[in-house]
Amino acid sequence: MLNGQCGEELITDTCIVSVKGEPIILSGINVDRDICAGSGEFEFNVIARNSAGTGSLHYRWYKNTLSHQISAEADTLLNYYKLHIGPTGAEEGLYIAEVSNACGSVYDSAYVPVIVPPKVEEQSVDVRACLGGNAEFYVKTNQDERYRYALYELTDYPSLSTRKKLAESYMNKFVLNGVTKGGYYLIKVYHPFCDST
């Protein structure tokens, strides 16, 4: 009688018996960028090899914990999961793939960041400056760490489309030095990938 574990090779004086192993993940979950809220369907997958030699690989998908399975049991032969990215960003989280065969299971995970449009909580209004002085503009959003800011002069107010970019930064405050005239200004808050304003 031969006893062995998955993955072991047992050698006797008459034959070699190979005991195959758990799946091997060849390429982990493919999330390599921020995803924009409201962008529709996003598909991610995992590529694995079945080292058991026979039978199929089975896949289960989870969000945040192994107690929250999101894939349907009928889809366990699919190595991908389609996620619908809605406008609220609720899909952001840790996604876990379980790949199993007759010898056991292996896991891979990736964090899926979802960029939602910022909400302006506070902003400069009715900025005043002396001739030749400084004018300070700022905006505060609910998610400052992910966004860029650009200050524009509106050259044909009230139209917002005719504008001249004055500055751009990861900081939410701008100072114009040496003000020579009044005017209308706009701060655009956006993500470099999603360009949400």
Q: pLDDT 10s per residue in the chain (197 long)? A: 555 556 555 555 555 555 568 888 888 887 767 788 888 888 888 889 888 777 889 999 999 999 999 988 777 888 888 889 998 889 999 999 999 998 889 999 999 888 888 888 899 888 999 999 999 999 988 875 678 899 999 988 888 888 899 999 988 899 999 988 888 999 998 887 776 55
**Do the beta carbons of residue 46 and residue 99 sit within 8 Å?**
yes
Cis amide leading into 23 (omega within 30): no
With residue 167 as reference, give the H or E element that holds it: strand 163-169
CB neighbours of 5 closer than 8 A, spacing ≥ 6?
A: 19
In whole angstroms, what is the distance from residue 18 CA to residue 7 CA?
Answer: 8
Rounded-to-integer distance, Cα 134 and Cα 180, Å:
10
Amino acid (one-letter) located at 23: P
What one-letter code names the amino acid at 116?
Answer: V
Q: Do residues 38 and 87 make contact, with C-beta atoms less than 8 angstroms apart? A: yes
pTM: 0.68
